[in-house]
Every structure is written in C-alpha cells, then in structure tokens.
Amino acid sequence: MAEYDVIVIGGGINGLTCAAYLGKAGLKTMLLEARGECGAHCDTTETNIPGFLHNLHTTWLVTAMSPAMAELELEQFGLELCTTDVIYAKTFRDRKNALICNNPFDTMQNWEKLSPRDAGVIRLATETFLPRIMDLIDVFHRYMFTAPKLQTLDDLDAIYTPFFKQIGMDATFKQIYEMNGFETMNRMFESEHIKTLLQSLSWISGLSPIHPKVGSSGTALLGPLTGPVVPVHLCKGGGHSLTHALVKAATAYGVKILPCCPVQTILMENGKAAGVRLSDHAVYSGETFTARTVVSNVTVVPTFIKMIGEDHIGTEMAARIKAFSYEEQNLIGVYYALSSQPRFASADFDEGIQRSCMGYFGGENSFEMETYARNLVNRTIHDKAIGNWFIPTLADPSQAPEGCHTSFVWFDVPPTPGKWKSETVDGFMDWRRIKERVADMITDTYEQYAPGFKNLILDRTIYSPLDMYRNNPSAIKGNWAGGSVIPEQFFENRPVPGVTVNGASRTFLPNLYLSNSIHPFGSSNLASGYIAACEVATDMGVRDQIWWNEKACMWLLANAARIPTNLGVRRAS
Amino acid sequence: MNNKQFDVAIIGAGHNGLICGAYLARTGLSVVILEARHETGGGLETLEFAGHKYNLHAIYHMMAEIMPPYHDFNLKARGVKYIFPEVQTAYFNKDRAPLLLYRDPEKTAKFIAAHFTDKDGERYRRMYNDFSAYFEKCLLPFTYVPAMGALDMITALENGSDETGRKFNAITELTPTEIIDLYEFSDPLKACFLNLFTMWGISNFDGVGFLFPLYFNRMTNAALCAGGSHRLSSALHKTFLQAGGVILDQAEVIRVSTTGEKADGVILKDGREIKAKAVVSTVDPQQTFLTFFDKDRISPDLTESAQKWEWEKQVFFGAHIALSQAPRYIGTERYPDANRALISFFNIDSTEAILNHADAIEAGRLPEQPIGHATCTSIFDPIQAPEGLHTGRWECLVPFDADWDRIKDAYAQKCLDTWKSFAPNLDPIDVYAYPPTYIEKKFKNMVRGSIKQGSYKILQMGAFRPNQYCSQTWTPVNNFYVCGASVYPGGLIIAGPGYVGANVIAEDFGVQKTWEEPECVKQARQNGFIRET
C-alpha cells in the first residue's frame, strides 16, 4: 500500500495548484518543496531596504483568467488583486507613448493620437469580440486549460479569419499562425509605436515575436484582444501573495506541504513511478515516501535525467530530453527602491503613462525589436537596454514605505552570453562578473526615458540568470517558463514529442505526470497545474466533483468591476 | 471576515503570537492573528536570495527542542529539525591557540586542560555542572510559568527540597564577572565566557546576572534550525492554520477597540474592524499602551511605565554573504575542529576590552575595530546555500545612531576585512549589509534596532517586564493581554511569553488544555520552586 495517493514534487505555483485541486478532490496528497518558501518563481522579498518589497519573478498576473480563482477559492485564502487603469505603457525616444488601458475607449483615444487607422483596428476588435465573448472564452478555455488539440486551431480560425479579412490582412488565421510576430504586426498595423507595443507585450508574456506560431499567438491572436479585455493584475502584497493563497488553500484542502525537502530520486517499480527519495540535504534526510501517482513540477530535464535516470528511459529518449532548450525566456532584473515616482519624458504626450504600473522602453521600431531578438538567439547581449519596467506601487502602495515606490526592469538576455558590445563574455558563470555593468546600462537607459530617475534611487538589487538558477535549480539557466517557448517546444510539441502521451501531463512512464514544462508553459494562469490536476483526477477516478466545472475567465467577468484600481496613484492636486 | 467575531485576536505573528495562537486554537477557540508585514514569523526570518538562505535576525535557537511547543505541536513531523553542532564556539586570537567550546563539556574541559591549564579544565567542569543544574532545575522551568515576584522566587528557592535552589540563590545577586570570578577564571577564558552574555547587547549587569548561567548553558548548546530559522515559524504558522486559526497579513493594527472597561476587538489601518472576546498584544509596550488605546483608557501609571520603556543601546549590525567556499581559519592545521565551530569569535581575550567596547557603544560611539562573530550555516546544513557554495553571516554590536545609509557598505567591508584576517580564503560573491536601521524599518516593534523588544535592565526584567501590572500576561484592561518579548520572561527565540500567555488565556476562557505542563515545571513544583496554582 502506498503512503500517499499523490506526491507532487515542487511547490511552485503550478505544483501548488495541482496539489490543492487533488487535495480538494479527496486524494491524500503530499507536496515536497526544495526551497524554504514555496513559489520559487512567485517570490516577493525585501532584498535591499526593508519595507520595499521586490517581486523577483511573477509580478503581473493572469491568474484572474484561471478557473482556479473560483474553484480553489483563492480570494477566501487571502488573494487580493489590484491594478491600474492604464495597464501597459510603451514609451519612446520621440517622447510619445502607446498605452493599453482597462477601458478600451481609453486605449483607442491614445492610439488615435498615434494612428487613427490603427485605433480603428482596435475599435473593430472590440466591436467584434466583445459580443462573442462567450465563444471566445470557450475556445480559450480549451486552448489554455486542456491538452493541445489541432481542432482548437480550427475553432480559432473560425473566429479570427473573418476579423482578419475585415481589417484587410488578407490571410486566414492558419496562415497568420505560421508567421512570426513581426510579420503579423506589419500586416495588422501601420504605426511602429503600436506594432512594437504589441510585440513587446507578446514577448514579455513569454511569446517571443521572432518565432512563427509562438510570435503570432502573442501578437495576432492575443494582441487584438487587449482592446476589449486585459486580464492582467497585480497582487496585493506582491506576487508572493499568490503563493501564500495557494499554500493556504492546499493546506486547508488537506495537502501536507514539506519545505526544505528536495527530491533526489523518483522511485520506479516495474517501470512505473512509485514514490520518491529525498536528498541527503533534506530536512528528512534521505527518506523515501511511496505514492500511487507522482507529479513532477520540476522541469522536464531534471525530472527525467536527474530524478529518474537514463536507465529507466533509454538512451534515445534521454538524448531527446537533454536537447530540450532553456536558452530563451531568461532575464536579468534590476530592482530599485525609489524615493518617489519617476516621471517619463513621454508623459506630456499622454499623462496616462504616469498611471501605469508597467510598461516597456527601448525597441523603437520593429527592426530594432527584431535585431534584439536575433541577438538573443546568437548569444549576444543587446547593446542597448530594452525591457519591461514596472512600478508595482502604483497599483499597490503597500509594497513600499509611504510616499516611496518600487520599480524594476527586466531585460531579456541570453543566459550563456558569448558577446556584449565589443566584449567577449564567457557564458553562464560570467554573469557574476558582468552583472553590475549590465545593470548600469539598464539604469542609464531608464534615466533617458525618465529624466531624473537616478536621483530617486535609494538602493538597487541585481538578479541575473545565474542568480535565478541558484534560486531555483529546476529553472535551468534561470529560465522562467519551464523551458523556452519556441516552435519546437510549443503547443502540440511541448515539452518534447513523446514525453507526454494521451494528454498534456501524462508521461510515457506510467503513474508519472508533469505540471511544469508542459502546455502552455509556466505562467500565473496556473494552466499547467490545472491540466495536470484534471488528468490525474481523471485517472484516479475523482474528476467528477460538483465544484470543478468552471471555465477560464468566468471569475474575471463576474468580478472585474470590484478589483481596486490606482490605489497608489497620487491624485493631481 | 470584517464582521466576524473571534474568541481571541492576537496582534503580531512573531513566534510568540503564533505559539499563543496555536495553543488556543487547539483548544477549540476561534483565533485570528493580525500581522502588519507581508510575512509571518517576526525575527524568525530567512531571506532566500539566489539560493542562499540568510537568517537576518534569529539564528541560534537557545531552547530548540526543549521549548514546550516543539513537543506539544510535534514540530519534528512538521519539518523542524534542529542541528546541534558538536563544536559550538571557536575563539580565535592570532597570538595563541583558539579556544573551542564543545557541546560535550568533558571534551571542552579536556581541550582547556590541554591548551590552557589543567586547573582551568577542572574549573570548567565545575562551572558547567553548576550552571546546568541552575538551568535545568530553576531557569528553564521559570521560563514557562508566569512571572514570580523576586522575593517570592528567592523564598521558594531557599525553602525548596533541592539544594540547587539555595546554591542558585547565592549567585543571583552577583554580576556575570563576579560569577566567573567565583570559579577563579582569568583572561582570556574569563573574557570568552563573559562574551556569551554580552554578545546579546547586555552590559548593565545590575540585577540580571542570574541570567548568565542560562546564557552560558544555552550558548554551549545552541542549535540551528535546518533550512533556516523561518522553518520554525512556518511550522508554527501551519500548526495554527490546521487548528482552524486565521491569519491576516498586511493587517496592521492601529487601535484596540473597547466597550466600557473591556477590550472587544481591534481596528486595522485599512479601516477594517475585528471583534474578539479577548485581545492579545505581542508587540512592545509603547505601541501597545500609547498608541492602541486612548490615553484616558489607560491608567497614568501604565502610561508612564510605557513612556519610560527603554530600548537596547547596543544593537546588531549584520553582513550576510554568499561565499564560494567555507571559511578556513588560520592556524587551524593543529586544530581542525576549529573550522567546524557554529560560531567563530575574533579578538576576544580581555574582559576589560569587552566591557570598554560595550561602554563605548552605550555612549553612542561606533567601534573603529568591530568585535563580532561569524557563522557559516551551510557547513552544517548544506541546503542553506546553492550546491557547492556557502552562506555566511557576520554580526557585531554597534550603536543605533550612525549615518547607516551612507556607511553601511563600508562598515560591512571593515567587518569582512576583520573576518578575512582570520579566514584568508573568504571570497564574498555577494554582500548584504544589514544595519540596525533596517531592523527598525522592517519591524515596528524592534524600535531602535531592538534585539529583545526592550533592554534587559533590572526594572524591565522578571515581574517588572514590561511593568509590575502586566508581567503575568494579564493587564489592567479587562480582556486584554500581553505576551510578546517585552513581557516576562523576555526576548530571543525562547517561546516563553507566548506559551505562558496561552496558558493564562486558556484558563481564563475555562477551556480544556490539550497539552500538559512540561516535565521541568512539574519537577520544579515538586521541588517547591514554583507554587501550585
């Protein structure tokens, strides 16, 4: 008799989600976390001056679209979302900015100033998609929260192709899907401001525009929707509050959570996963636990290569898994404690940017964005800082002392750089040597877009891919998505063809499931954890629960109006 | 949540608040804990950054497995594992052999006999045994019962059935230096032993010497919490949740609400009101009595005592570092054990120097030459650093008032230079300077960087902590209790105030306790040291 029905390895937010669902469904579930705190990629800490909370990973959340919001009762367990009315702002050297706002009419108003034609596109998107919101939700639920099926692409085609025709793109969804995010934006918009706005948003969502399928999904599929619906929020108290809520939920649903318990080995019995053995460094040094089912929330390479081993999976499969890439979706982060709010030079163009808790600078046009993306593939650190900036305290002032703010910038970098400007860089370990100077470049760039920024800095913390990897060795090279989101590792191919069978989380080894590295990819929508929970529950005969019937986005539709907005925005006097 | 009525509302989710809450919740009472920060655990904080676990505050757990909640809550099964390093301390001095204090007193006595004098070895045996008896039979049980008046305590010890009480009485009026003199130690040993007490920022010895045997005994039996100090608070947190307790974080209490003469709830900074039959404060007396209540609700005596509350004048400066290798100390070829000490002290060889150093800090002067100690947790607990790397922690006493924002990094460098002069291989990958001003910024109840939520001086100890009206958990305000580190028996991770508070409050509610009195208390009652209740 196994001691547990389910053991989940890894207390990241998707592991916690999976465990909480299974606990709630009545399975005897244990979750083992290697770190002291759960939520390695949903972590908020006071890394420099106390009182300034820095979100080292997940900051903007798309949890509101997850069925887990209602089914796990995350609000009852302390999750409080908040937002700003302008949710995304790309600022440019010509002192203009492009905004995405919660109210589509605000977005249109800003775009009108950049390109009346492009504003028309987003108006049409709003008029087209808002009335069909239930159809969209249905297809999105299947796209994000169930195993990838090619049928879903047909359904998307039925919805999107007429829209694309209407705006004169002269291609079907399926044709557009094969393009990259630069081509799609060139076809959809005329303004470089707006093209790069959506390219950048796609990129920071994990869908780098340089790749076909991936880039088109982020730009052409999701881009037009940012007019009608922006499911993006922050979490009061920082991203880690989502971890807290999931830990509390899982605990309440009877899940036993043991931190500081890294797993060394997944135990195999007659070719089936049967339990785990902890590392000698664990609090329960070297102990073994047996289970009917094992879910790994560790990424695919350490799961199969380290915890199971080539003996059990064969050389050929091992070679395919080892080729899984972690080389894109890596960041260096610079976290600032600020004495007050920075003012962007483009605020005179549209003051809305001063009410946005996040945005982007650099990458003035598609060509520059594309060069930046190509450099990444070529292991070159881009010679200009281009990146995603945040000022979370505009949405949630509790993340800094009164009157003060936090801000940070994420800059996409190759984890194993070979080159930066004219300098040769010696790979992953060289981050120790160069990170200060890369951070200086980022700080200088911030100053260019928001003059006076440097005078506000009280302290800063730098967080390189090497630091991220040390924080979470499952995130190889500091990758934040459970493995790069590239066409060979996307949708039906994810993570590696042949690793998952009959779904998205069931692996080729009986009784072993994955809730990381799988479809769609690591994200705060909690989809991977949800999918794993669904498949495990089905296989163990407990899927049929009256509370387990929610669809994506339904919670958001019902509750969006009461999410507090602009809590940290000082009113003009 | 807003309209819910609880039996008990506890202000502060430090270890005392969590312990008090967990005991009470386990009796079936409905309990809510309000925490101002985004994380619970108070001083049991472990900052995880880039795979290094930095214990920014508490690190050496003095009462580890002997504190009652460890057994009562089965914390072992909740992932709390204590590591007791065999070599507890190493005192390094460039002119002589290091002094090693092992957890095994016999080993220490032999080490001292071999490297100092035979007589000193014998003296150590005697002192250790005396102190152990004082600790086990008197100081330990007194930690887990409400404060007794000094006279009552002396009388009980004098008339008890075990002679340890009388022996202990004979030293309670002495200062630590006088106690060490009883055993005829001289420097450097005297300085080293004294340091186990003064390292906590205690220098005014008037009336607190009785604690010296406790500190000596505990600091030769100190433990690390595996995985970092936060593991303890995390386990307490879960114990509380599983007993049905509710924790609200980012819920800063600004007022205690009252009806008539009774406390009946709390008001949060964000305007929420929470009603409770009993309200418990685990924060300091100034917040508790001067800000939570209107002045006219509190007697002038109580107000005055809160106004006069004194904070420590000596506070901690920390430097937390990511290391590529564990420190290897100079001159340890002959003493390999010295590289495996839990705490390494540097330059401690003269009692006078220690006392002068303390006086200088009390006078507000920042020591030019920091006297501090260092710990490398990952030697004992590799999980506190990424694979192959190490995590180090430097700590020394400093005054609170200095231009820390400006000098913190330079001062950290000075501290690390001192450390490196004894461990030349020290190679910091990352340094987090942690000045006392950061402590105050983080915790509202650690005013002026307070280590123990208020200075240990005679009028703030025993039945006077925090004052004569409130040292037994009850306060003059009906239904309002106090049980944080500013209450008897005091600060550091000893679980005393929270445990005593839970007992008193459970009795007032008339609920069935789910726990038994600790063995040491039962024994002390049998000996007549503690009166029957």
| DSSP one-letter string for B169-186 | HHHHTS-HHHHHHHTT--
Q: Is A567 on the interface with B (CB under 8 A)?
A: no
Contact B52, B385 (CB under 8 A): yes
Q: Which residues of B touch A (CB under 8 A)?
A: 38, 46-53, 79-81, 226-228, 230-231, 234, 238, 241-242, 248-250, 381-383, 386-387, 389, 405, 429, 432, 438-439, 441-442
Nearest residue in B to A237, CA atom: B38
Nearest residue in B to A54, CA atom: B49
- Cα-to-chain-centroid distance, residue A92: 25
Retrieve residue A400's tokens: 């800094």
Identity of the residue numbered B18: L
Q: Which of B46, B228, B382 sits opposite A281 (nearest CB)?
A: B382
- Residue B94: the pLDDT is 87
Nearest residue in B to A461, CA atom: B432
Nearest residue in B to A252, CA atom: B242
Structure confidence at residue B533 as a pLDDT band (50, 70, 90): low
Contact B53 A283 (CB under 8 A): no
Structure confidence at residue B3 as a pLDDT band (50, 70, 90): low
Which of B1, B35, B49, B55 to mutate to test binding with chain A, by most A CBs within 10 Å of its CB? Answer: B49
Contact A467 B50 (CB under 8 A): yes
| CA A461 – CA B54 distance, rounded (Å) | 15
Q: Which of A45, A237, A260 sits opposite B47 (nearest CB)?
A: A45
Segment A101-112 mean pLDDT? 96
CB < 8 Å to A81, chain B:
none
For residue B354, how many C-alpha atoms fall within 13 Å in the half-sphere facing its CB? 28
Nearest residue in A to B248, CA atom: A78
Structure confidence at residue A228 as a pLDDT band (50, 70, 90): confident
Cβ-count burial of A521 within 10 angstroms (0-12 exposed, 13-18 middle, 19+ buried)? Answer: buried
Contact A260 B231 (CB under 8 A): yes
A114-126, pLDDT tens digit by residue?
999 999 999 999 9
Q: Is A128 on the interface with B (CB under 8 A)?
A: no
Q: Which of B38, B79, B382 sits opposite A53 (nearest CB)?
A: B38
Which of B35, B38, B52, B404 to mutate to test binding with chain A, by most A CBs within 10 Å of its CB? Answer: B38
Quickly list DSSP for B308-375.
T----SSEEEEEEEEESS----TT-SS-GGGGGEEEEEES---HHHHHHHHHHHHTTPPPSS--EEEE
- Residue B4: the pLDDT is 75
Q: Which residue has the tokens 């075990």?
A: B162
CB < 8 Å to A43, chain B:
48
**Order of strands, sheet of B341-346, starting from the edge strand that comes earlier in the sequence:** B99-102, B87-92, B341-346, B372-376, B390-398, B315-323, B428-434
What dihedral angle (degrees, nearest 10) is formed by the CA atoms of A394, A388, A201, A348?
60
A491: Cβ–Cβ under 8 A, 6 or more apart, which residues?
Answer: A148, A213, A519, A520
CB < 8 Å to B234, chain A:
36, 259
pLDDT of residue B532 exceeding 80: no
Q: Which residue has the tokens 């009917």?
A: A292
Contact B48 A35 (CB under 8 A): yes
Q: Is A529 on the interface with B (CB under 8 A)?
A: no
Q: Which of B46, B79, B387 sits opposite A283 (nearest CB)?
A: B79
Contact B79 A258 (CB under 8 A): yes
Q: Which residue has the tokens 């000698």?
A: A280
B44-71, pLDDT tens digit by residue?
999 999 999 999 999 999 999 999 999 9
Structure confidence at residue A572 as a pLDDT band (50, 70, 90): low
Contact A80, A92 (CB under 8 A): no
Structure confidence at residue A163 as a pLDDT band (50, 70, 90): very high
Helix H or strand E encompassing B256:
strand B253-259
Nearest of B178, B128, B214 to residue B520 by alpha carbon: B214
Quickly list DSSP for A322-361.
HT---SSS-EEEEEEEESS----GGGGT-GGGGGBSEEEE
Nearest of B389, B486, B399 to residue B428 by alpha carbon: B389
Segment A316-336 mean pLDDT? 97
Contact B227 A284 (CB under 8 A): no
Contact A248 B241 (CB under 8 A): yes
CB < 8 Å to A458, chain B:
405
Contact A45 B226 (CB under 8 A): no
Retrieve residue B394's tokens: 């430097």
| CA B227 – CA A261 distance, rounded (Å) | 9
**For chain A, which residues make up each domain, given as ranges?**
4-51+61-78+237-325+482-558
Positive or negative: CA dihedral A382, A383, A387, A392: positive
Segment A162-178 mean pLDDT? 93
Segment B13-33 mean pLDDT? 98
Contact A467 B248 (CB under 8 A): no
Segment B402-407 mean pLDDT? 96
Contact B387 A463 (CB under 8 A): no
Contact A470 B48 (CB under 8 A): no
Q: Is A365 on the interface with B (CB under 8 A)?
A: no
- Residue A531: the pLDDT is 98
pLDDT of residue A325 exceeding 90: yes
B54 forms bridges with which residues in the sheet? B47
The alpha carbon of residue A54 is apart from the nearest alpha carbon of chain B, in Å, by: 11
- Residue B25: the pLDDT is 98
- Residue A158: the pLDDT is 93
B137-171, pLDDT tens digit by residue?
999 999 999 999 999 999 999 999 999 999 999 99
Share of chain B above pLDDT 70, in %: 99
Structure confidence at residue B421 as a pLDDT band (50, 70, 90): very high
Contact A51 B441 (CB under 8 A): yes
CB < 8 Å to B38, chain A:
44, 53, 237-238, 240-241, 398
Contact A281 B429 (CB under 8 A): no
| CA B292 – CA B444 distance, rounded (Å) | 13
Q: Is A219 on the interface with B (CB under 8 A)?
A: no
Identity of the residue numbered A80: E
Q: Which of A51, A284, A473 sits opposite B442 (nearest CB)?
A: A51
Cβ-count burial of A271 within 10 angstroms (0-12 exposed, 13-18 middle, 19+ buried)? Answer: exposed
Contact A78 B249 (CB under 8 A): yes
Which of A260, A434, A466, A476 to mutate to test binding with chain B, by most B CBs within 10 Å of its CB? Answer: A260
- Residue B499: the pLDDT is 98
Contact B430, B50 (CB under 8 A): yes
- Residue B260: the pLDDT is 87
Segment A245-259 mean pLDDT? 96
- Residue B422: the pLDDT is 97
Helix H or strand E encompassing A555:
helix A554-559
3-class SS at A500?
A: strand
Q: Is A251 on the interface with B (CB under 8 A)?
A: yes
- Residue A389: the pLDDT is 98
| CA B487 – CA B309 distance, rounded (Å) | 12
Mean pLDDT estimate for chain A: 96
pLDDT of residue B204 exceeding 90: no
Q: Which superfamily does A4-51+61-78+237-325+482-558 belong to?
A: FAD/NAD(P)-binding domain (3.50.50.60)
Nearest of B233, B48, B15, B238 to residue A257 by alpha carbon: B238
Interface of A with B in 85-114 (CB under 8 A): none
Q: Which residue has the tokens 């080894």?
A: A509
Helix H or strand E encompassing A87:
strand A86-91
Contact A119, A108 (CB under 8 A): yes
Nearest residue in B to A53, CA atom: B38
Q: Count of CB atoms within 10 A of residue A415's CB?
A: 26
Which of A258, A458, A470, A476 to mutate to test binding with chain B, by most B CBs within 10 Å of its CB? Answer: A470
Q: Is A168 on the interface with B (CB under 8 A)?
A: no
- Tell me how many degrees the CA angle A251-A256-A258 measures, rounded to the nearest 5: 110
Retrieve residue A203's tokens: 């990129």
Burial A114-149 (b: 16+ CB within 10 A, else e): bbeebbebbbebbebbeeeeeebbbbbbbbbbbbbe
DSSP state of A40: T
A293 forms bridges with which residues in the sheet? A6
Nearest of B220, B234, B222, B219 to residue B80 by alpha carbon: B234
Q: Which of A45, A50, A471 sits opposite B51 (nearest CB)?
A: A471
Segment A472-483 mean pLDDT? 97
- Tell me the Ramachandran region of residue B453: left when phi exceeds 0, alpha when psi lies from -120 to 50, beta otherwise: left
DSSP state of A307: I
Identity of the residue numbered A439: A
A386-414, pLDDT tens digit by residue?
999 999 999 999 999 999 999 999 999 99
Helices (H), B30-187: 68-72, 105-115, 118-133, 140-143, 150-159, 163-172, 176-182
A18-35, pLDDT tens digit by residue?
999 999 999 999 999 999
CB < 8 Å to B81, chain A:
283-284
Pairing type for strands B52-55 and B372-376 reads: unpaired
Identity of the residue numbered A370: E
B473-529, pLDDT tens digit by residue?
999 999 999 999 999 999 999 999 999 999 999 999 999 999 999 999 999 999 999
Q: Which of A44, A244, A471 sits opposite B50 (nearest CB)?
A: A471
Contact B230 A45 (CB under 8 A): no
Instruction: Give the orientation angle of helix B118-133 with respect to helix B163-172, to 10 degrees.
Output: 110
Retrieve residue A521's tokens: 């990819």
Retrieve residue A196's tokens: 């790069």
Contact A14, A42 (CB under 8 A): no
Mean pLDDT estimate for chain B: 95
pLDDT of residue A296 exceeding 60: yes
Nearest of B72, B65, B391, B384 to residue B222 by alpha carbon: B65
| CA A100 – CA A85 distance, rounded (Å) | 9
Q: Is A248 on the interface with B (CB under 8 A)?
A: yes
pLDDT of residue A151 exceeding 80: yes
Pairing type for strands B262-268 and B273-281 reads: antiparallel
